[in-house]
Chain A
């Protein structure tokens, strides 16, 4: 479980996060949604410690993460896996080397054991026969899956995904979404996904947190979304004609 307690963050004179408090549950896919510029990426990066918060606490299972010293934070990070928007695979390393990298740095496994673990992770994300290729030689969807394989290589307790579907076609996006959900349940992780893809919300949103102008505006499950009276959330979720039609049909049923 990850708890965010009264977190505020500003950059120069811009208040990006204002007193945000939310609990992200273990074994569930927790989604942070919001418009571009709403502060959801800053929230995610604050949770993982890439941004120092100005105020508040980030608590990982009773450990106040943002109060840890550099060394303790570094140790803690070994339990964290993250999937970045563009994959963030190392260009100069092959697919296999990318997945083996955390194992190289933080384990004393033999080379063959590391290779076995890397292959196991790649197989789990349905990537086969591309071990020796470089990231630039595989598709965007495959890159995302390799990034997931790298993120789970050390059996993390926490998984963070920053817009995992950006740049992917809807079908591949659903594959990635379902993979994240399956892995979350399989490894019993606390997963936080940052997205503005409404398909993701409907597909995997066990818990949804809506951020609006740096504040937590709404939280609930994907089913609650259809019945909410929150105007800003409705304007955001049902921005297109198609989504409004779906909502009306859902409400009729």
Chain B
């Protein structure tokens, strides 16, 4: 019953979030701020994780394809497909769930327990929409750029690690990443990251918005936001993969 209660409450919150904004100009400015706060500030962590992820994938692929019958360009091809299909969307989403999910839940949760949300309501502002909608729009707009960044940096990381370790030459790696390339893989990845971005922001905002008590509850909400976002990312990863690739 608890699960249905929360699902119902989550959709009721979403109904308030997508109500007509009071002032479009204010929402637009808030969205730009959120793009900076949630998106641009995440570029560093995404780049760092992606370069190492690409490097490890390349070395592991090389290790698994260590066979004189298999051409070494397969290392590039395997690394590319792993990065494009899974890592740059799902792993990046899981990182974002930790970084921006906890940020959103703690920010909104703190606003709740310090009565800032009540202050908005008293003024006649739809607090759910004002606080959450700009975050959703910002993350859905910017998340695909983070995924594209992750793809580029991940593949570059694979090349650096592969050539430095001597498991693949530059020519073979470049040939591999171009071999039998399917552009739909990028579309698939972007669709996934947008769904994940929506889930991360709304689930985290839901937990923050429903924090009551003090700092301890805000901390708990933040943890729940990360855990629940991660679980739903994995669940929707399965659903979307089945829908888009089967």
Contacts and interface: CB of A to CB of B under 8 A. Distances in A.
A90 B110 CA distance: 11
B23 A88 contact: no
A105 B123 CA distance: 9
Contacts of A76: 124
Interface in B91-143: 110-111, 114-116, 118-119, 121-126
A84 B115 contact: yes
Contact of B123 (A78, A85, A86): A78
Contacts of A84: 115, 118-119
B26 interface: yes
- Size class of the contact patch on chain B: 10 to 19
A224 interface: no
Nearest to A76: B124
A151 to B, nearest CB: 9
Contact of B118 (A74, A81, A88): A88
Contacts of A160: 122
Contact of A102 (B121, B123, B126): B123
Interface string B21-33: 0110010000000
A77 interface: yes
A75 B122 CA distance: 10
B124 A78 contact: yes
Interface string A56-100: 000000000000000000111110111011101111000000000
Given A104-B26, A105-B22, A105-B26, A77 B122 contact: yes
Contacts of A85: 115
B218 to A, nearest CB: 13
A20 B75 CA distance: 77
Given A84-B115, A86-B114, A88-B115, A50 B23 contact: no
Nearest to B118: A50
A50 B121 contact: yes
A11 interface: no
B122 A48 contact: yes
A86 B115 contact: yes
Interface in B18-61: 22-23, 26
Nearest to B26: A104
Contacts of A88: 114-116, 118-119
Given A50-B121, A76-B124, 4 more contacts: A48-B122, A77-B121, A104-B26, A105-B124
19 contacts: A48-B122, A50-B122, A74-B126, A78-B123, A80-B122, A82-B122, A86-B115, A88-B115, A89-B116, A90-B111, A90-B119, A91-B111, A91-B114, A102-B123, A105-B22, A105-B26, A105-B123, A106-B22, A160-B122
